[in-house]
Amino acid sequence: MSTFRHHLRAVVLLGLPLAGSHLAQLSIGITDTVMIGWYGVEELAALSLATSYFFAIYLLGSGFAIAVMPMVAAAITNDDRRQVRRVTRMGLWISALTGLLAIPLFWFSEPIFLALGQLPGLSADMQIYLRIAGWSMPVFLMAMVFKSHLSALEHTQIVLWSTIAGTLINILVNWLLIFGNLGFPELGLRGAAIASLGTNVTVFVILTLYAAGARDLRAYTILARLWRPDWGAFGEVFRLGLPIGLTMLAESGLFTASAIMMGWIGEEALAVHGIALQIAAATFMIHLGLSSAATVRAGHAWGRKDPIALRRGALAALVLSLVLVAITITAFLTVPEQLVGLFLDPNDPARGRLMALGASLLAMAALFQLADAMQVMALGFLRGVQDTQRPMIYAVVSYWVLGVPACYVLGFSMGMGGTGIWLGMAVGLSAAAISMMTRFWTGPARTPLALVPDLPAPDIGAE
C-alpha cells in the first residue's frame, strides 16, 4: 500500500513540471503586460480587459480539454489504450469546433465592451487586439487537449518545455513588433496580439508532433483516423467537460466582472488591476499545477477503486499547496510596491501613485490566497473522480450570487473603490473553497466506492 511519503513524492514529480508549464503560460501574459505597460498606460488598460475577455472564453472551451485528463488517467489504469485514443481524439474535435465558434465574439467585441460601459476609445483598442489574438483560440484549445493527454500519461516535461519555448518566442516577437526594434514596424497592441498568435501556434505544433511521434507514445496512435467521428466518446467528453468549462467560466467571470468595474473607476485603476492580477495569477498557477497532478492521481485511484490512495494523494497535494500559500502571503504583505514596480516604466510620472494603488490591491490578494488555493485544489480532486456537475452549481452560486454582488456593494455602494472590489472577490472565492472542499471530503473521499461506477465497456464499433 502506498504511503503518504510516496504520494507526496508523486505529486511533486508530476506537479512541478505542470506548475512550471502554467507559470510559463502565464509569463506570456506577463511579458505582454510588462512590455505594453512600458509602451503606454492606455494600451495597458486595453490589454488588461481584452485578455480577461479572451480568457473567459478560453476557460469555457478548455473544460472539454481538461475533461480528457481524468478520462485518460482512468483508462490507463485499466490498460485501455483504445479509450485513451478515443477521448483524446474527440477532445480535439470539440476544442477545434469551440474555438472556431468563438471567433465572432472577438471580431465583433467592440459593441460588447461599449454595452458593458467601457469608454469608446478603450473599446476600439480592445477589439483591435482581439481581432488578431482571437484566431489563436482553436489551436490554443487543442494544445490544451494535448497537455491534458500528456499529463495523464505523466509526460509532463514536454508540456513544460514547449510552453517555455513559446514564452521565449513571445518575448522576442513582442520586442520586435510592439516597439518596432531592428527595423520592424512599431505596432503596439497589434504587435502583442501577433506575438500571442504565433506563440500559441508554436506550442500546438510542438505538442502535436511529440504526442504522435514520441517512441513510447506511438502505440496510442493518437491521430489515427482523426477525421472519423466517434459520437460515443464525443458525448462522454462533452458531458464531463461542459460542467468543467462552466465552472471555470463562473470563476473567470468573477475576475472579468471585477475588471469591468475597475474600468468604471478609471484607466489607471484598470491598469493597476491588471498588474495585480498578473502577480496573483503567478502564484495561482503553481496551485493549478498541483491541482492537475492531484487530478491525475485521483483518476488513477478512481480507476482502481482505491479510497485510501485517493485520500492520501489529496492530503499530499494539500500540504504542498498550503506551504506555498504561506510563502506568497508573506511576499504580498512585505514587498508589494516592489512587485508592482516591475510592471511600470521607471520614468512614468504616475509611477508612485500607481505603485501605492497596486500595493493596496495586493494586500487584498494576500487575503484570498488561501481561499483561491483551496478551491482549485478541491476542483482537482473532484475532477479526478469525474464529479463535475455539483461543483459547477457551487461555483455559480459562490461567484455570481455572492462574489459579484459583493464586489459592487463593497466597491461602490460602500465607497471602498478598487480595494472593495478585490475584497468582494475574496468573498466569492471563500464560498467556493468551503463548499467544494466539503463536497470532496464528505463525499468521494469518505465513501468513494459507492460513487464509482464500473468503467464503460469498449465500444467495438466506434472505430
| Secondary structure of 351-419 as H, E, C letters | HHHHHHHHHHHHHHHHHHHHHHHHHHHHHHHHHHCCCCHHHHHHHHHHHHHHHHHHHHHHHHHCCCHHH
**Given this model, what pLDDT does residue 85 score?**
92
Which pTM was predicted?
0.79
Q: What is the largest CA-CA distance in the chain?
A: 68
Task: Return the higher-pLDDT residue of 417 and 351.
Answer: 417
**Given this model, what pLDDT does residue 449 score?**
45
| Residue 204 burial by Cβ neighbours in a 10 Å radius (0-12, 13-18, 19+) | buried
Whether residue 460 lies inside any domain: the answer is no
Cell numbers at 362, concatenated: 495586493
Residue percentage of the chain with pLDDT more than 70: 95
Q: Are 179 and 37 in contact (CB under 8 A)?
A: no
Whether residue 362 lies inside any domain: the answer is yes
Whether residue 315 lies inside any domain: the answer is yes
CA angle 398, 105, 230 (to 5 degrees): 80
Whether residue 175 lies inside any domain: the answer is yes
Whether residue 456 lies inside any domain: the answer is no
Question: How many other C-beta atoms can be found within 10 angstroms of the C-beta atom of residue 62?
Answer: 24
**Given this model, what pLDDT does residue 351 score?**
75
Q: Residue 356 — pLDDT band, cuts 50, 70, 90?
A: confident
- What pLDDT, in 10s, does the model give residues 104-148? 999 999 999 898 888 888 889 899 999 999 999 999 999 999 999
Q: Tell me how far CA of residue 135 lies from CA of 90, 102, 129, 262, in angstroms.
A: 21, 9, 11, 27
Distance CA 109, CA 29 (A): 20
Whether residue 457 lies inside any domain: the answer is no
Whether residue 407 lies inside any domain: the answer is yes
Distance CA 36, CA 85 (A): 41
Distance CA 21, CA 14 (A): 11
Average pLDDT score over residue span 411-419: 88
Q: Are 372 and 329 in contact (CB under 8 A)?
A: no
**Given this model, what pLDDT does residue 86 score?**
93
Q: What is the dihedral of CA 203, 204, 210, 211, to 10 degrees?
A: 140
Whether residue 462 lies inside any domain: the answer is no
Q: Tell me which H or E stretch contains 90.
A: helix 81-107
Average pLDDT score over residue span 309-322: 88
Distance CA 439, CA 380 (A): 12
Distance CA 352, CA 247 (A): 38
Where in the sequence is the domain holding 256, given as residue range(s)?
4-449
**Given this model, what pLDDT does residue 447 score?**
62
**Given this model, what pLDDT does residue 454 score?**
46
Distance CA 127, CA 46 (A): 9
Q: Are 310 and 302 in contact (CB under 8 A)?
A: yes
Q: Are 261 and 115 in contact (CB under 8 A)?
A: no
Task: Return the higher-pLDDT residue of 234 and 301.
Answer: 234
Question: How many other C-beta atoms can be found within 10 angstroms of the C-beta atom of residue 187?
Answer: 18
Domain total of the chain: 1
Task: Report long-range pairs for 320-324 (Cβ below 8 Å, ≥24 apart).
Answer: 320/8, 320/11, 320/12, 320/15, 320/290, 321/287, 321/290, 321/373, 321/374, 321/377, 322/370, 322/373, 324/283, 324/286, 324/287, 324/373
Closest by CA to 84, choosing from 151, 174, 164, is: 151
Distance CA 254, CA 267 (A): 19
Contacts of 35 (CB under 8 A, 6+ apart): 174, 175, 178, 179, 192
**Given this model, what pLDDT does residue 463 score?**
54
